[in-house]
């Protein structure tokens, strides 16, 4: 019941809304705090490019079979593959919070 993309609400005519009857794309939360970005703006940033600079795999081939990977294991493998430069960019995302980052990913990092 939406005309925009990536909506979870209803009757929206914008992108990335989780509300009802919205016509303007909302600002997103980053680390549980309001940001100055809409999702459309954020996907154009160096932060987004760093987050997506290496694959994030929730499945892998093992003994010629595809098996599911635990989310935090996938996070650890993704983080290990990121360049040091991209790790710095991720840690510079507005509102970065090392405790929330660890809670979600299982990765302990200082800012």
Ranges of each domain in the chain: 1-44, 45-105
Tell me the HSE value of 73 on the side-chain side, using a 13 A CA sphere.
8
- Would you place residue 1 in the very low, low, confident or very high pLDDT band (cuts 50, 70, 90)? low
User: What are φ and ψ of residue 75, in 5° steps?
Assistant: -60, -45
Q: How far apart are CA 55 and CA 64, in angstroms?
A: 20
Tell me the HSE value of 67 on the side-chain side, using a 13 A CA sphere.
9
* pTM recorded for the entire structure: 0.85
pLDDT (average), residues 43-71:
94
* Adjacent-strand bridge partners of 29: 34
- Would you place residue 15 in the very low, low, confident or very high pLDDT band (cuts 50, 70, 90)? confident
């Amino acid at each position: 019941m939406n005309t925009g993309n990536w909506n979870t609400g209803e009757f929206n005519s914008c992108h990335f809304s989780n509300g009802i009857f919205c016509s303007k794309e909302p600002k997103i939360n980053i680390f549980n705090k309001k940001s100055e970005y809409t999702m459309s703006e954020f996907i154009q940033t160096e932060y987004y490019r760093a987050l997506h600079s290496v694959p994030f795999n929730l499945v892998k081939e093992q003994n010629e079979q595809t098996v599911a990977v635990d989310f935090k294991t996938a996070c650890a493998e993704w983080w290990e593959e990121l360049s040091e430069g991209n790790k710095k960019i991720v840690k510079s995302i507005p509102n970065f919070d090392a405790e929330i980052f660890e809670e979600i990913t299982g990765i302990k990092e200082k800012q």
